[in-house]
Amino acid sequence: MNNDIEKVLYSAEDIQKTIGKLADQLSEEYKDKDPLILCVLTGAVLFTVDLIEKMDIMAQMDFIDVSTYFGGTATTGQLKLIHDMTADVKGRNVLITEDIVDSGRTLQYLVNLLKERGAKSVKTVSLLNKPEGREFDVNVEYYGYKVPNEFLVGYGLDYKGYYRNLPYVGILKPSVYSED
């Protein structure tokens, strides 16, 4: 698996330090707000777990699965609600946790959905932010790293469902795609 990586962008250690800083900021912001932390499956699971573990405030957690990428390297442009959350968001301060915001399509859909359902506030924390990929006007209030316009894998990010379990984030070798 490691041999398929061209370059490591963020080491496991670096990522954990960055998450620690985000957790401190978010704990301060949400300490009296009883936040509902909404993890976007599947990519954001690793990030969300490490983040909430470092936040020492009362908070609840839920999951939602919206997908735009169906296992490849380019967005299909389609969006599907695959698995809905269970909590009632009415009047809640929702914090969406994402692995990466690229075009912003997923995030725009989620923010609209949560607002329609009556959330009191909706903010987003994403480990990675790829602003060059942006096609939709969305706010990413908190993020760990601004990343180049490359296809990344690791720490939750996948290529065809694989590489999520790498503890770091890296660029996949182009030879891996051309084998398809």
Q: Is 102 a catalytic residue?
A: yes
Q: Which of 4, 27, 57, 69 binds ligand IMP (CB under 6 A)?
A: 69
- 103: contact with ligand IMP by CB under 6 A: yes
- 156: contact with Mg ion by CB under 5 A: no
Site for ligand IMP in 108-137 (CB under 6 A): none
Nearest-angstrom CA–CA distance, 153 and 176: 12
Q: Which residues of 8-21 are buried (b: 16+ CB within 10 A; e: fewer)?
A: ebbeeeebeeebee
75 binds, among Mg ion, ligand IMP, none (CB under 5 to 8 A by kind): ligand IMP
Active-site annotation holder among 50, 99, 102, 158: 102
Choices 29-37, 68-76, 89-97, 112-120; region in contact with ligand IMP by CB under 6 A: 68-76
Q: Which of the residues are catalytic?
A: 102
